[in-house]
Amino acid sequence: MNREEFLKGFQEQFEDTDESLITFQTKYKDLEEWSSMMALIIIAFIDENYSKSLSGDDFKNSTTIEELYQILIKNK
């Protein structure tokens, strides 16, 4: 999966957060718009575009978007 496309897709899931605030270094759970529902929206985005899954533990074990991306490319 393409890194830049992934980041762009990730940014697009947020309605009220400026995309400049969402980079690979962003601690996504610190974003004001982040919520448990946002986690589901991200899961659906990943499922639709990459046919991959993110578990609750994947969110627990990642802080930045880079870390989430690294988990994702290892996931089946």
Partner 1 sequence: MALFEVENVKIKGIAACLPSRVINTNDLELFSSKEAQLFIQNTGILKRHVSDGNVCASDLCFQAAENIIADLGWAKGDIDILIFVSQTSDYILPATSNLLQNRLGLTQDCFCLDISLGCSGYIYGLSLVSSLLQNNRFKKGLLLVGDTISTYTSKYDKSVYPLFGDAGTATAVEFDQLSDFKWLFDIGTDGSGSEAIKIKTGGARYRTNKNSFELESINLDDISIGKRSSVDLKLDGIDVFNFAIKKAPTSILNILKCASVSIEIVDYFFLHQANLFMNETIRKKIKVHKEKVPNSIQNFGNTNGASIPLTIVQAFNDLKATKDLRVIMCGFGVGLSWGSVFMDLEQSLITNMSTYHD
Ramachandran quadrant class, 51 (left: phi over 0; alpha: psi -120 to 50; beta: rest): left
Which CB sits closer to partner 1, 4 or 48?
A: 48
Q: How far apart are CA 25 and CA 22, in angstroms?
A: 8
Are 47 and 11 a contacting pair, CB within 8 Å?
Answer: no
- How near is the Cβ of 22 to partner 1 at its closest, in Å? 17
Which CB sits closer to partner 1, 4 or 74?
A: 74
Residue 76, helix vs strand vs coil: coil
- How near is the Cβ of 34 to partner 1 at its closest, in Å? 8
Binding site for partner 1 (CB under 8 A): 29, 34-37, 39-41, 43-44, 47-48, 53-56, 59-60
